[in-house]
Structure 1
Amino acid sequence: MASMVPYRSVFGLRPASTASLLDAFDDMMDFASAPLSSKAFPIDVEDKGDAYEVKAYLTGVSKDDIDVELNEGRLSISVNVEEKEEDQGKNYLQKEFASYSATRGVYLKDASSEGLSARYADGVLTVTVPKIVEKKNVTKIAID
């Protein structure tokens, strides 16, 4: 079973069908305390049976700016994008790119730390997290 840190919409609120009053209050507090330069990125989590496949949509992000960690079942994907020095000091009429960082987390209760893999192509980070395989050492005992 997987659970994820919810994707925040532009105003930081969950859809009304899934939000309780307390959830809405928590979301507003998160939004109010978030720095203006923070950005969220969407993720998908799919249960493939023997593994989880987590996709993070990180268009325009370099592979070197991404950090992925698994710690006690919590998969964290962090992005830290810095403005390039060559862009500083130019006379822009409009500039919408800024340095930012963002982190998304997913709790995967039966995630194994062995056999993890990640690939990044075309702006999509795909992390494959195998599930812990429970060994069933059942021995039939004859009754005398």
Structure 2
Amino acid sequence: MPFKIENLGYGEAHISDFEVSGVEYTLIIMEIISKGDSSVVLPESYRLNQGSFFEVSFDARNNLDNNTLFERYPTNNHAQMITIMSTVERLINEHYNAVSPSGYILLAADERLNRVYKRYINRFVTQNGFTMTDKLDPNRRGYVIHT
């Protein structure tokens, strides 16, 4: 698994770096210990077991270093976005095959990214026989993939 694992004291962070068209990105798959750890508002009916749910986020390394989280990289075009999302999808698959969690939580940073997430998550769920809960808050851009 191409992930560096860091124990943060409140869960493990599984971190993978990748590059697309000369831009470095970091994918973080963070273990969710309790509902309050998630950026997505989870319904009361959700039961999270330790080590079984992870929240997925990724950003350009430059944004992480400069604390400008999720700011769009100015040179990204459509082809680069497809490559970025395909890489993220591949890494999530690799993580799933190695860890076998009960699910993944994702939150799109903005409406444009939400439309992209919706397409990729629908395909990912369908191809793997998983289920999904979508339109979760905040701003109805949250997703839970049940594996």
Normalization by structure 2: what TM-score? Answer: 0.26
Q: Which structure features the higher share of helix residues?
A: 2
- Structure whose alpha-carbon radius of gyration is higher: 1
Higher relative contact order (CA 8 A, sep 6+): 1
